[in-house]
Structure 1
Amino acid sequence: MGDIFKEQLVAKKRTSKDGMITALIILAAIVVALAAFAFIPQVFVFAVAIAAYGAYWLIQRQNIEYEYSFTNGELDIDQIINKSNRKRVVSVSVKEFDVMAHVEDKDHAHELTGFEKTLDFSSGEIKSNTYAAIFVHNNQKVKMIFEPNEEILKGIFHLIPRKLYIKK
């Protein structure tokens, strides 16, 4: 068999919590501007500019996407903030997975427990392709939630058919 390479991009959905954070950021920027006006009126314009830029920067950082790259059994997940800032958040061989199943799979729910840390690289919505994988990373038992497409699932199944339980 030749090399396997698949990529997928998953956008994190905005939630009501994200909306509340945005509102708090805007409120904080207004408070900073008013405080500057009240205490040091000479720097009001400068303070408004800094507060506005800071609020804009923080709000833009809530725009998150995850890119899954599956290459010959290695799953790399990058977090992309505001379509410009990329950071590798995890790199793991799928052969290290103890189990992988749909997050709502009642038949394997007991196998998806007992973890110390959760890594959520999904859109935030539970879909038919929202899976959880259990593995050890940095001496911690980790539950990773992600949304592999059909091609990535096939690639993972090819390598760990007895550990992957595909939702029917």
Structure 2
Amino acid sequence: MIYWIAENILGGTSMDVFVEQIVKKRNTTKDIAVIVGIILAALILCFVFAIILPALVPILGTLSLFLVAGTIFGAYWLISSMNLEFEYAATNGDLTVDKIIHRRKRKRVINLDSKDIETMEKYKAADHAQKRYDKRINAARDENAEDCWYLTMRHNQFGNILLTFSPDERTLSALKPFIKRQLAVEVFGRDAFRRT
């Protein structure tokens, strides 16, 4: 865990908590099926552009090379866009979740204040199948993994949300002092606030 010690106005020191964690999303069977579909579609289009189009319209032979190249690039772009990572940044009770797409683009998913968290525990999909949320945000490595947690809260922008994520011990420890005391005891046990 990274701590920053900052001088405050009165000359004392305060301790700021800052923890970052990056998790790579695992491909599901649905993701693999989409990748296979993209590859098959690209192969069919390349066949059409490279063999059938020049045979039907011989004057378009040179254009077909550009169409094949564009198809290959488009398939690469779509497949690589499925390579996702999530970054969790916990700073003094604020949790920010960003989605990183193939290390070329970053998008803010949500920013929340830990004191507004209503529930937090290990995630089981069956427990939430029938529940209604205004927004479900999946920022987990794998929703079916044992390290998947969830939290619910009322968010100013999204309403009642369910966030699934895969925090490590450092991230959980950074959030622990800032969530409601009763919730911290429920999640982490009675020793949640003991100093070690």
Residues 141 and 48 of structure 1, relative CA distance in 2, 3 Å threshold: same
Provide the rounded CA distance (Å) in 1 between the counterparts of 2:105 and 2:122. Answer: 30
Matched with 1:102 is 122
Provide the rounded CA distance (Å) in 2 between the counterparts of 1:47 and 1:120. Answer: 36
Deviation at 1:116, TM superposition (A): 2.4
Matched with 2:187 is 166
8 Å contact from structure 2 (residues 143, 164) kept in 1: no
TM superposition score normalised by structure 1: 0.86
Provide the rounded CA distance (Å) in 1 between the counterparts of 2:139 and 2:49. Answer: 39
Are 1:132 and 2:150 an aligned pair? yes
What amino acid is aligned across from residue 129 of structure 1 in structure 2? Answer: D
What amino acid is aligned across from residue 134 of structure 2 in structure 1? Answer: E
Matched with 1:25 is 38
Provide structure 1 residue ranges, at least 5 long, that are not aligned to the other structure.
none
After TM superposition, the structure 1 = structure 2 runs for residues 7-86 of structure 1, keeping only pairs within 5 Å, are: 7-37=20-50, 38-39=52-53, 40=57, 41-42=60-61, 43-86=63-106
Deviation at 1:105, TM superposition (A): 10
Q: Helix, strand or coil for the counterpart of 1:98?
A: strand
Provide the rounded CA distance (Å) in 1 between the counterparts of 2:125 and 2:142. Answer: 17
Q: After the TM superposition, which parts of structure 1 deviate over 4 Å for at least 4 consecutive aligned residues?
A: none
Provide the rounded CA distance (Å) in 2 between the counterparts of 1:9 and 1:20. Answer: 25
Larger mean CA deviation between 94-103 and 63-72 belongs to 94-103
Matched with 1:90 is 110
- After superposition, what is the alpha-carbon deviation per residue over 1:86-142, rounded to whole angstroms, capped at 9, x for unaligned? 111111111111111111399xx58x9442221010011434432111112225211
Equivalent residues, number = 165
Residues 167 and 113 of structure 1, relative CA distance in 2, 3 Å threshold: farther
Larger mean CA deviation between 125-134 and 113-122 belongs to 125-134
1 or 2 for the larger relative contact order (CA 8 Å, sep ≥6)? 1
Larger mean CA deviation between 156-165 and 61-70 belongs to 156-165
Provide structure 2 residue ranges, at least 5 long, that are not aligned to the other structure.
1-13, 190-196
**Percent identity for Structure 1 against Structure 2:** 30
Provide the rounded CA distance (Å) in 1 between the counterparts of 2:183 and 2:125. Answer: 14
8 Å contact from structure 1 (residues 101, 167) kept in 2: no
RMSD of aligned alpha carbons: 2.5
Q: Helix, strand or coil for the counterpart of 2:20?
A: strand
Q: Helix, strand or coil for the counterpart of 1:91?
A: strand
Matched with 1:151 is 170
What amino acid is aligned across from residue 121 of structure 1 in structure 2? Answer: A
Provide the rounded CA distance (Å) in 2 between the counterparts of 1:60 and 1:100. Answer: 32
8 Å contact from structure 1 (residues 128, 167) kept in 2: no
Provide the rounded CA distance (Å) in 2 between the counterparts of 1:136 and 1:143. Answer: 9
Residues 26 and 133 of structure 1, relative CA distance in 2, 3 Å threshold: same
